[in-house]
Amino acid sequence: MSAASEPIFNVPKVVTAMLVVLVLVHVVRELVLSPEQDLDFLLMFAFLPARYDPTLLSAGPGGLAADVWTFVTYALIHGDVTHLAINGVWLLAFGTPLARRFGSLRFLAFFALTAAAGAAAHLASHAGEAVPMIGASASVSGFMAASMRFAFQRGGPLGLLRRADDAAYRVPALPLLAALRDARVLVFLIAWFALNVMFAFTSLPILGVGQVVAWQAHIGGFLAGLFAFAAFDPIRAGAADAEARSH
């Protein structure tokens, strides 16, 4: 295929599909559901720490099944267009390189894991709270951390000797401790954690949601993405080196 016929936006199908799902969920909530139905929807699919309060006598809507699925489904719901747009842009930016490296199934499993880790961190810091948490920020944070593990490598998409082809997304990742010695990775980490510290000490509401930024969930998703990356990564250094030698 010639350069002139390349698509303008080369986004993996799984990322496009996820963005479509996020938009559809929001459209249904805004245009189809009544306020009462939307409240029932949030109680069923948003993450509500009060569901896990052992002192409550009655189970939350959906019972035990919802106790499990809300660890992930909350990430598909957003408060308003601004909230959706911000997460959508970051999902596009950091989900795209990860989907190219992981493939669709690993990508979706990684989304679920980082969402669950974000929910767990939020639950640990907001036990018993009756305010629902929504948004894909925890998974997006996990995508950021995972992309950081390989994007800055030599020949990677953000490396000094960067490449534009798909091989740039399959460069072998350094071990975590070695990656943390890269100045660019450290700057990225410091900037990301500084931003979330700002969220922790300022009341920055998400428009339309009526709650402050769930920064603990961001950190939970980020740490899960950082440490779980190696378990999901299909690229092994030895295999990649052998492939490079064969060519």
pLDDT tens across 103-136, in order?
Answer: 999 999 999 999 999 999 999 999 988 889 999 9
Query: What angle (nearest 5°) sits at the alpha carbon of residue 150, between those of residues 21 and 190?
Result: 90
List domains and CATH numbers for the chain.
10-246 (1.20.1540.10)
- Check whether 137 has a pLDDT greater than 60: yes
The token pair at 59 is: 């189970």
Distance CA 78, CA 206 (A): 10
pLDDT in tens, 63-85: 889 999 999 999 999 999 999 99
pLDDT in tens, 150-177: 887 776 676 544 555 677 788 888 888 8
Q: Which residue has the higher pLDDT, 62 or 222?
A: 222
The pLDDT of 3-12, averaged and rounded, is 57
Distance CA 47, CA 73 (A): 8
Residue with tokens 């029932």, as numbered in its chain:
40
Q: Percent of the chain, pLDDT > 70?
A: 81
Which pLDDT score is estimated for 151? Answer: 81
Distance CA 234, CA 231 (A): 8
Q: Are 199 and 213 in contact (CB under 8 A)?
A: yes
Q: For all residues of the chain together, what is the average pLDDT? A: 84
pLDDT interval class at 188 (50, 70, 90):
confident
**SS3 readout for the chain:** CCHHHCCCCCCCHHHHHHHHHHHHHHHHHHHHCCHHHHHHHHHHHCECHHHHCCCCCCCCCCHHHHHHHHHHHHHHCCCCHHHHHHHHHHHHHHHHHHHHHHCHHHHHHHHHHHHHHHHHHHHHHCCCCCCCECCCHHHHHHHHHHHHHHHCCCCCCCCCCCCCCHHHHHCCCCCHHHHCCCHHHHHHHHHHHHHHHHHHHCCCECCCCCCECCHHHHHHHHHHHHHHHHHHCCCCHHHHHHHHHHC
Find the range with the poorest average confidence among 120-124, 196-200, 223-227, 237-241: 237-241
Distance CA 123, CA 241 (A): 43
The token pair at 169 is: 């997304």
Count the neighbouring beta carbons within 10 Å of the beta carbon of residue 245.
Answer: 7
